Structure 1
C-alpha cells in the first residue's frame, strides 16, 4: 500500500505538467520523486527490511506507474 502513494503523486504531477506545458517542471518533479524513493529505501534499510522485499516494492512501483500512465495519458 505504501507504494501506491508515491506513484499517484508522480502521476498527478506529470499530468499537471503536461497540461501546463512546463518542461522545466518535469525535471524538478522527477528529481523530487527520485529523492523521495531514495529516502524511503534508506528508511527501509534502517528498519531492517530485506532487500528482496525492497526490490519487490520497486518492481511493483514501476509496473503501477507504467500501467497507470498508459491508461491515463493514452
Structure 2
C-alpha cells in the first residue's frame, strides 16, 4: 500500500513539473509573438487541462488538502519563473 502511494505522489510531482514547464513555455512564446489568437487558445486550453488533472487526482484518491498544497506551490513557482521570463 505504501509503495502505491509513493508511485501516485511521484506521478503527481512529475505532472506538476510538466504543467509548470508547459505554462512557462506558453508565457515565453506569447511574450515574443504578441499573437491574440494564440493567447486566447492558451487561456482556454490551460484551465481545461488543469481541471482534467484535478479530476484524475480525485480518481486516484489524492486528498483535497494535498491537491491544494500542490496547487499553491505550483502557482508560486510559476509566478516566480514567469516574472524572470517575461521581464
User: What's the TM-score, normalizing by structure 2?
Assistant: 0.78
Q: Structure 1 stretches (4+) deviating beyond 3 angstroms?
A: none
Matched, 1:46 2:83: no
The CA distance in 2 between the partners of 1:17 and 1:73, in whole Å, is: 9
Unaligned regions of 5+ residues in structure 2, if any? 1-12
- Post-superposition offset of 1:12: 0.6
Deviations 1:16-66 (A, max 9, x none): 122111022112112211111100000000111100010011101110110
Is the Cα–Cα contact under 8 Å of residues 27 and 82 in structure 2 kept in the other structure? no
Higher Cα Rg, which structure: 2
Matched, 1:24 2:37: yes
More helix by share: 2
Please, what is the CA RMSD of the aligned residues?
1.1
Unaligned regions of 5+ residues in structure 1, if any? none
